[in-house]
Structures are given as C-alpha cells and as structure tokens.
Amino acid sequence: MNRLMPRTLLTPAVLAIAIISIVPLLITLSYAFVKFSLLAPGEHAFHALENFHFFFSDGAFLPALQNTFVLMFSVMFITVLCGAALALLINEAFPGRTIVRIMLISPFLIMPAVNALMWKNMLLNPIYGLFAQVSHLFGLTPVDWLSQYPLLSIIMMVSWQWLPFACLIFMTALQSMDREQLEAAGMDGANYGQKLRYLYIPHLGRAVSVVLMIEMIFLLSVFAEIFTTTGGGPGFETTTITFMIYQQALQSYDIGAASAGALFAVLLANIAAFFLMRVIGRNLAK
Amino acid sequence: MAYLQLSNIEKFFGAQHAIKGIELGIGKGEFVVFVGPSGCGKSTLLRLIAGLEPIDKGSLQLDGRDITHLNSSQRDLAMVFQSYALYPHMTVFENMSFALKLAGVDRATIRAKVDKAASILDLHQYLQRTPRELSGGQRQRVAIGRAIVRDPKVFLFDEPLSNLDAALRVQTRIEIAKLHRELGATTIYVTHDQVEAMTLADRVVVLRDGRIEQHGSPLALYDRPANRFVAQFIGTPSMNVVPSAALPQLANGNGSGGFVGIRPEHVRLGGQAIGGLAATVDMVESLGVETLVYARLENNVQIVSRGSERTRLQPGDRTALLFDANAVHHFDAAGNAEAAVMQAAL
Amino acid sequence: MNRHSVLYLRTAGAWLCALLLFFPIFWLGLMAFKTEAQAISTPPLMFFSPTLQSFRDVMARDNYTGYALNSLFTSVLSTAIGLAIAIPAAYSMAFFPARGTVGLLKFILSSRYMPGVGALMPIYICYQYFGLLDSRIGLTVMFMLMNLPIMIWLLYTSLRELPREILEAARMDGATVLDEFRYIVLPLAVGGIASTALVCMVWAWNESFWSLNLGASNAGTLAWLIASYSSPEGLFWAKLSAASLMAIAPIMALGWFCQKQLVQGMTFGAVK
C-alpha cells in the first residue's frame, strides 16, 4: 500500500489549520510581551508583566470570567433539557410533523445579529416589545429586560437560537433506538417514566456529548448578541472574556493588553477542548 | 508446484499470531473448503490470499507467478463476500460489468460476458434493477455473477450462504456445486457449516487456531480423522470421545491416558441384550429420518446414539448400548490418532 | 391513557412548542410589511394591509444587492474551497487510518475552539499587510478556514459509514485507489457531502464577527447591512424588520428547501 498518498491528501488541510491556529498564536504571543498601543505608536518596549497585570487586574476581568461560565453553562443546560424534552415529544409520528420540523430549525438559520436585534426591539423592548404587551394583557408592569436582567436576556436569546440544534440531534439519536429493547421493557412492565430513566436517557448520553462539544465552540465566542444589545453593560454585567478582549483591542486600542487577554482566551479554550475531547475521544475512536 | 501454492504463510495482528505457518497446495479446478470454529483464521487466510490483508511471512504462488505482495486488483482473483458487498448505487448490470469497465474492455464484449453469466445464474430479468430491489438470494446470485464475469484464476467465497434462510441455503448450495461442475474453476470456499464442507468440497481443510489440523477428501476426514479435534468437528452429532479409562472395553488396553472415539451411528441400542453396556436415557430426539438417543453410562459418561429405527424409550428408561468394535478410533494422550481404524463396510 | 389521547396531546404539544419557537421570526416577517406607525402600535397589530414600502426604503438607503452578492459569493466559494481541501483529508483519515489519526482529528477539532477575538489582531495586521482588508477574497479565505475543522470532522464521520466490504469488492474488481474514490466513494458519499456543504454555507452566511472586522463597504456581507441598523439612528422598526428579513430570507429558504439534508448535516452524523 502506498504510504505517501494518504499523507499528500492530508497535507493541504493540516497546513491550513496549522497556519490558522499557530501563526496567529505566535504573533499574539509576541504582542503580549511588548508595549503595543495604537495610541502610542513606536513604543515597543518589553512590557509583558504590565500587559498581563493590566489585563487581569482590569475591573472587568473577574465579572467577565464569571459571565462567560454562567452564559455557557446556562445555555447548555437549557438547550439540553428542553431539547431532549422536545425531541421526546416529536419522536413519534403525528400530523404535520414536517412543518413542525421546518419551524423548529428556523431559529438556527438566523444571523446572530438579526437574532439580537429581533429580541432587543421586538420582544424585550419595555414599551413596544411583545413581552411588554403580553404583560399589559395580564396587568403586570413590563420588565425592562435588557436593563434589569441583561445576562438573562442574552442567555434567552442564545438558548432560543441553539435549541433547535440540540433538539434535532436528540431526535436523530432517539430514532436510532432499538425498538425491540423498548418493547421488551414494555413487556417487563416498565411505564414511560421508567423507560425514560433506564433506556432513553442513557441512550442519549452520546448525543448529549456531541451537543455540548459543538455548543461549546460557539458559546465561547458569542459576540454579535452582546455587541448589538448591551455592549457589555450595564457595567460589566454582560461582558464575557471574548467581549472584554474585543473592547481592549478595538476600543481601548491597547493591543498589548488585549494580546495578553487573547492568550488567556486561548488557554481557556484549550482547557475546555481538553475536557470535551476526553469525553468525545472515546466516541471518536470507534 | 501446485496451481495455487501457500508456503509457510504467517500473519500477525499486533501481538496476536493469527496465522501460524500454513503450507498448502491447491490444484487447478479443485474445490477446496476451509472449515473450522470461529476465530480459527479461515476468513483471515482467505483475505490473505485475496490480498485484502498483507502477508507477513511466507509466499503465495499462483500459476507460477509470485503474487505474495501484489495488490488485490492484480492477482486475477474474484471474491464473493458474506454480505455480498454489491455496489448499492449501480444496477445489477453495472455491478457485474464494473471490473471489465475498469479494465477497459469494450462495450460489446462486456455485454456478451454479462449476458453469459446472467444466463447461467438466471439473472436476466434483474439486470436493470438496483441491489435494494432484490431479495437476499437474488443479491447472492449477483455477487456470484460479478465473480464469474471476470473469469478469474481462482474463485474465493467467504461464507456466502450464512445470510440466507435454510431452504435458500440448500438450493444455493446445489447451484454452487452445479456451477463448479460446469465451469471447472478453482475455488476456495470458507464456511463454518460442515454440511456445506462435506457436500461441496473436493478437499476439506480443517483449521484451528491459525494452523491446519488436517486436510483431505471429506470422507477421508470423516473416516480417518487425524486427531480428536477433527474427529469431533466433522460429523453431527459429533463423535463420542471419552478418556480410555472411562471405556476400557473399547480401549483394548491400548495406551492408558489416551482417548477412544466412536461415532453415534456405530452405537446401537440393545435393549437388555447381553454384551451391551448398561445406560440410562437422558434425552430422545426423534427427527423422523433418524432418532438420536442421549444416554448416560453407569460411570456417568454421556454417549450419543444414532439410528434409523424409531424407539419407545423415554428419558429415565434403562437400556444397553452396543458398540461396533471395528469402528473405534484411538487417540493418544495428546489427541493424535493412533492405529488406523478399519474402514466401515460400504 | 389511550392511544388517541396520547396522540392528541402529542400533536397539540408539538405544535404549540413549534409555534412558540417560530413566533419571533413570524412576527419579524409580519413587521417587515407594515408601515413604521403600524410597527410600533400598541397593542400589536395583527391585521393590516401589507406594504412593500419598508423594503423599498432599505434598498434605497443601502446597497442591498451589493451586500447580498457578497454574502452569496463568500459563502458559496468558501464552502467549495473548503470541500476541496476537506474531502481528501477526510478520505485519507477514514480509509487509511494510522496511529495518529484520532489524535490529529482531535487537534483539528480543538483548533476551532478558540474564539475569533483571540486571533483578531494578528489576522487584522496580516490582512492589512497583504492588502486583504475589505476584499471578498479575504473574507472567503477566513470563512473557509473557520469552517474547515468542522467540515473535516463531518465528512470523516460520514465517510466512515461506508461499508468496508464494498470498497474491498471494488479493489478485487481491479480498482485503483483513484478508481475507488471516483466510482464508489464519491457517489455514495454525496449525501454526506451535501449535508456538510449546507450547514457550512449557513454558518458562512450568518457569520458576523469577521465580516464586521475584516470587511467594509466594498466586500461587506449582509452582516454589514444589519450592523448599520443597530445604531439608534437606524432604529426604524419596519425598516429594520425589512432589512432583517431580506438578510435572512435567502438562507432560510435554502434551509427549508433542503431541510432533510440540512438536518443530516446539523446532526453531525456522529449520532447513530
């Protein structure tokens, strides 16, 4: 068997990915170690400690870290739970299933920026938004979501967008379940709740890991929603690490500090990837 | 040098020594069956011959040519897979003509060859269908047709009948036998079913644990097994093999610590006749054409008897077992056959 | 609970959830056809005579066609180039696995975890240096690189589903590796390739981060169109809805039309 050929086929891909992941990393590394501010051009003295210190001591850092985790895990939790429930609901055939599926995948297809604007203006706006109108209907005072519960609002938006994804993955997983196993359990006297606990949920385990893995990629880099609605505020309430770095780079023009932050983001991403890979690796190596 | 010669073939899967030195010569036009229990290496050996796995040690010669390290595509062999492995996106015609198309054969010749194979296998009405639209038996025939069209030097069959139901299996088995008679092609056939082995083979090769235990004509293996393993593998129900100490009457004092064997059809039920060994019936299986009686001797040794007469015996009844002394096989402590058994009268 | 009532409940529940989930989009679409006054009316207006005025306003205010063409160009081209790179790589890993294959796959996938912002500055500076800022090619390359890891993974899992024996049969029939690929692998993998292409196109189309940072008025995608409506000055709801609808409609239509394939791509084949 020709050994060379498989390697040649792989080369362009590996090259491309190596370039996009290693080259920027090296450059960022170099920036993080010098003073690099667009407001003070020409000064590139060794400034590493100051950069890192500046980044980590920034008032936004700890809140951003917390917000990042809260956002990520809340969305994961909501999408997995509701996605699984929804998948179980539509698992069997019923009239209009195709249309329901079309409606269900729609949020996934929306541009995140549109998603954000839609929620901000149409739904969450305390005067004209739909939520407000509905509250009036029930005689309640409308909530100014983006001011009073900014992080929750963002979580709502992002969950809404990713729910279809989780639901469809679970639905596909459910459809591959062994019918005979369910029938046997039925004959053994299991009711729906027991089947749920002992058959459905374990089977979904693998699907859950796929969902978490993919969602983590995109949740770490949530940007458009925050940018368009709250701009990270009020205060630091909706600033995530990603957004914080963006602010430092493009709003404070301090490339050095932003690079230090970027390295931290890389670290964070790698930690996340490491954990997920261990879970997924078992499945991948099939 | 035989037509297909396997010389000291060895194969390792990591640390596992799967094939431990196979030496075998196959003549032109011979129908050889590889048979053995699961994991014995018969499929692996077939795949080594086919070129789907590389041979680690030894050599393979076909018609004077050394094909040990050649690609599958260059060996001039055709294989029928257990799962048929038909190309799902091609019609039956395209499936059967694929190899010829790759070889650059012209359309007219392709059509002629496919037609001929389709006639032999009665596939004409299916030529434009896709595998999805065919039944298991039909797919099987297409797989065979695909091999025939190529007119290879050797046909390789990998458990082709195991996915068919019983009736279809018998029918297809007969068709394969007829095919071999018509085409006279050299064939290597892998199966775990000894009925297929006994009926189809010119020569049977019994494999265990990566080694050849014995090879020879089906009846030779049946009548003169070289060791305990072959003796008990060939023949259903299997030969009764017990330690000599348990049946001294049959052992005739030949080598203590060895074994004696006798086939069920050579064990008669003798009622209360003198000379037989007393036994209690454990189980009776009436198959219509024959009756199997599972009995236990006084010393708790289980013996199976097989006869064409019906019986009124019930589990728990007492009876006596008569053994045909001429049909006893003797094995030494290592399990190898000792004295040759006199041929059962024809 | 008998069969009928379960079915009834299930149908009702499913439809309710679907409608709730879909409602925001429906409302957005509805608002696009209202006038500004109708759009902000309280209580919300369900019945009105539709008008296309907002669409006309958006087209007049901004270069919709230009942005749309840019979106189309970048998403299609980036997906095509991505496939050209990813298919050989996935093929190689699926059919010629070596000891390091799983490790390589993990590396490829984990490279996707970094948020774009982490590489923003170096890439911005590189692009500036090579004159790629605000260029369609620049954006195309970026989208392609962004989707490449997932593309490889998706194709890998779908190629692995091809029964090994069929390829062995082809080999016995005399197929070289190239023949195998052309006559067997490719036709059988078309479904998987289509699904992968679809889901990557959706992501490329919806991409905002790099579009906003690396593009501008010349090569800007529809993300730019939307961005211009997010400032308070652009806050006219009917127009905003019209603009949004115009931005998302093409890809939604595509998604609905190919929903079966899209779902296959979305579910990542890894779930069996």
HSE of C212 in the Cβ direction (CA atoms, 13 Å)? 21
Residue A284 has pLDDT above 60, yes or no: no
Nearest to C174 among B50, B86, B99 (CB): B99
Residue B58 has pLDDT above 90, yes or no: yes
pLDDT (mean) for A145-173: 86
The pLDDT, as a whole number, for residue A42 is 65
pLDDT per position as a tens digit, C107-128: 888 788 777 777 887 888 888 8
Q: What is the pTM of this model?
A: 0.80
Average pLDDT of chain A to the nearest whole number:
81
Contacts of C98 (CB under 8 A, 6+ apart): A6
Greater confidence, C231 or B267? B267
Between A157-171, B246-260, B332-346, C162-176, the lowest mean confidence (pLDDT) is in B332-346
Alpha-carbon distances of C199 from A147, A211, B110, C86, rounded to whole Å: 35, 15, 42, 14
Between A28-42, B116-130, C23-37, C77-91, the lowest mean confidence (pLDDT) is in A28-42
A214 contacts in chain C (CB < 8 Å):
150, 268
Residue B255 has pLDDT above 60, yes or no: no
Residue A283 has pLDDT above 60, yes or no: no
C111 contacts in chain A (CB < 8 Å):
17, 20-21
Would the CB atoms of A122 and C256 count as touching at under 8 Å? no
Name the residue with tokens 């980036």. Answer: C78
Contacts of A256 (CB under 8 A, 6+ apart): A31, A32, A34, A35, A36, A37, A47, A50, A51, A54
Alpha-carbon distances of A17 from A21, A259, C30, C151, rounded to whole Å: 6, 21, 43, 12
Q: In sequence order, what E strands does C29-155 have?
A: none
DSSP state of B345: P
Highest mean pLDDT among A30-39, B324-333, C36-45: B324-333
SS3 of B274-303: the string is CCCEEEEEEEEEECCCCEEEEEEECCCCEE
State the best of C172, C178, C179, C181 to mutate against chain B, taking most chain B CBs within 10 Å.
Answer: C172
**How distant is the Cα of B299 from the closest Cα of chain C, in angstroms?**
52
Nearest to A128 among C17, C40, C120 (CB): C40
Nearest to C10 among A25, A89, A117 (CB): A89
The pLDDT, as a whole number, for residue B218 is 94
The pLDDT, as a whole number, for residue C232 is 62
The pLDDT, as a whole number, for residue C82 is 94
C206 contacts in chain A (CB < 8 Å):
109-112
List, as ranges, residues 32-71 from A with C-beta within 8 Å of C.
Answer: none
Listed in sequence order, the DSSP H helices in B103-256 are: 107-121, 136-149, 166-183, 194-200, 218-223, 228-233, 248-251
Spatial distance between the Cα atoms of C115 and A249, rounded to a whole number of angstroms: 14
- Please answer whether residues C84 and C266 qualify as being in contact, where contact means their C-beta atoms are separated by less than 8 angstroms: no
Would the CB atoms of C187 and B71 count as touching at under 8 Å? no
Q: Does domain C64-266 have CATH number 1.10.10.10?
A: no
C251 contacts in chain A (CB < 8 Å):
109
**How distant is the Cα of B49 from the closest Cα of chain C, in angstroms?**
11
Is C251 part of the contact surface with chain A (CB cutoff 8 Å)? yes
Spatial distance between the Cα atoms of B107 and B100, rounded to a whole number of angstroms: 9
CA angle B244, B245, B250 (to 5 degrees): 50
Its ipTM equals 0.82
The pLDDT, as a whole number, for residue A40 is 66
Chains touching chain B at 3 or more Cβ pairs under 8 angstroms? C
Residue B341 has pLDDT above 70, yes or no: no
The pLDDT, as a whole number, for residue C35 is 77
Would the CB atoms of C25 and A106 count as touching at under 8 Å? yes
Would the CB atoms of A270 and C113 count as touching at under 8 Å? yes
Spatial distance between the Cα atoms of B245 and B338, rounded to a whole number of angstroms: 16
pLDDT per position as a tens digit, C127-155: 888 888 888 888 999 999 989 998 998 89
Highest mean pLDDT among B69-78, B219-228, B330-339: B219-228
Spatial distance between the Cα atoms of C68 and A260, rounded to a whole number of angstroms: 37
The pLDDT, as a whole number, for residue C153 is 87
A180 is written with which tokens? 């005979």
HSE of B256 in the Cβ direction (CA atoms, 13 Å)? 3
The pLDDT, as a whole number, for residue B324 is 86
Which one, of C30, C35, C76, lies nearest residue C250 by Cα? C76
Give the three-class secondary structure for A115. Answer: helix
Q: Count contacts between B and C (CB, < 8 Å).
A: 58
pLDDT (mean) for B300-316: 90
Nearest to A272 among C86, C113, C123 (CB): C113
Decide: residue B97, CB within 10 A, 0-12 exposed, 13-18 middle, 19+ buried.
Answer: buried
Peptide bond into A126 cis (omega under 30): no
CA angle B63, B67, B68 (to 5 degrees): 135
The pLDDT, as a whole number, for residue C233 is 54
pLDDT tier at A22, thresholds 50, 70, 90 = confident
B11 is written with which tokens? 């194969």
pLDDT per position as a tens digit, C158-199: 888 888 889 999 989 988 888 888 899 989 888 888 888 988
Would the CB atoms of C112 and A228 count as touching at under 8 Å? no
Beta strand B154-158 pairing with B77-80: parallel
Q: Distance from first CA to last CA of chain A, Å, rounded? A: 23
Contacts of C251 (CB under 8 A, 6+ apart): A109, C201, C202, C205, C206
Please give the full DSSP string across B29-87, using - where no structure is assigned: T-EEEEE-STTSSHHHHHHHHHTSS---EEEEEETTEE-TT--GGGS-EEEE-TT----
pLDDT tier at B342, thresholds 50, 70, 90 = very low
Decide: residue B54, CB within 10 A, 0-12 exposed, 13-18 middle, 19+ buried.
Answer: exposed
Tell how far CA B120 is from the center of its chain: 25
pLDDT per position as a tens digit, C217-247: 777 888 888 877 766 654 677 777 888 888 8
Residue in chain B nearest C163 by alpha carbon: B85
* Residue type (1 letter), A216: M
Which run of H or E residues covers position C163? Answer: none
A255 contacts in chain C (CB < 8 Å):
121
Listed in sequence order, the DSSP H helices in B153-203 are: 166-183, 194-200
The pLDDT, as a whole number, for residue B277 is 85
Domains of chain B: residue spans and CATH:
4-223 (3.40.50.300), 237-331 (2.40.50.140)
Alpha-carbon distances of B324 from B41, B268, B271, B344, C117, rounded to whole Å: 36, 8, 16, 10, 90
Average pLDDT of chain C to the nearest whole number:
83
Residue in chain A nearest C11 by alpha carbon: A94
The pLDDT, as a whole number, for residue A186 is 81
Is A272 part of the contact surface with chain C (CB cutoff 8 Å)? yes
Calculate what percentage of chain B has a pLDDT beyond 70. 95
Would the CB atoms of A210 and C270 count as touching at under 8 Å? yes
Which one, of C117, C146, C142, C220, lies nearest residue A249 by Cα? C117
Spatial distance between the Cα atoms of B107 and B114, rounded to a whole number of angstroms: 11
pLDDT per position as a tens digit, B66-115: 999 988 888 889 999 988 899 999 999 999 999 999 988 899 999 999 99
Is C101 part of the contact surface with chain A (CB cutoff 8 Å)? no
- Please answer whether residues C161 and A62 qualify as being in contact, where contact means their C-beta atoms are separated by less than 8 angstroms: no
The pLDDT, as a whole number, for residue B344 is 38
The pLDDT, as a whole number, for residue A163 is 92
Domain boundaries, chain C: 64-266
Greater confidence, B5 or A129? B5
The pLDDT, as a whole number, for residue A82 is 92
State the best of C16, C20, C21, C233 to mutate against chain A, taking most chain A CBs within 10 Å.
Answer: C21
pLDDT (mean) for A164-178: 83
Spatial distance between the Cα atoms of A280 and B5, rounded to a whole number of angstroms: 47
C95 contacts in chain B (CB < 8 Å):
none
Nearest to C145 among A20, A118, A160 (CB): A20
Greatest C-alpha distance within chain A: 79
Point out which residues pair with B207 in neighbouring strands. B212
Edge-to-edge strands of the sheet including B277-286? B267-269, B318-323, B277-286, B291-297, B302-307
Domains of chain A: residue spans and CATH:
50-284 (1.10.3720.10)
Phi, psi for A160 (deg, rounded to 5): -55, -40
**How distant is the Cα of C83 from the closest Cα of chain B, in angstroms?**
22
